[in-house]
Amino acid sequence: MRFHSLPESKRYAEDEAEYSVVLERHNTVLDELFAGTDVYVITPAWTTEAEAPPPQPGADYWRSLLAEDDPDPEFRTYAHLFVVRRPWQRGCLDELLRDVADDKVGGIMITDIGMRRIYHPYDGGADAFLSTPQERDQLRSRHTGWLSSHPLGL
């Protein structure tokens, strides 16, 4: 399910009041998904090389995936995934979420340790992947004002 981070599906915050709304929405859903648990914060590094780059500060290398399998090796793209395990606390990812909102970083995923719930913020909102349709429907019903008015929910 997709949530928009600002009213009327506005994509980018323009002032501190709008950044507050963005962070409040992200943290509210993240609290509902992960309160009292540890989470993995997964960040990608995109390259055209199969070998992973050096680890990002404070993160461990997890795995590399072939993201685009072009017959010409010069055009293949790899996603090298780095992971940090941390206890979820409201606000602990605000700096990262703000960078995502500003489109400075992308491809971030936040998941429980069992990887049953995944939260994928992007500039303009977030996608939430939940373990059951009932869980999805309950989360959706609590935040109907944050959903897209587009017929496909985009």
- pLDDT at 9 (0 to 100): 87
Distances 105 to 40, 100, 113, 120 between C-alpha atoms, Å: 17, 5, 23, 12
Query: Quick check: 115 and 132 in contact, CB under 8 A?
Result: no
For 16-56, write each residue's pLDDT tens digit: 999 999 999 999 999 999 999 999 999 999 998 889 888 87
Ranges of each domain in the chain: 1-36+88-144, 38-83
Q: Report pTM.
A: 0.91
Rounded Cα distance between 17 and 146, Å, is 17
DSSP conformation letters of 52-72: PPPPPTT-EEEEEEEEE--SS
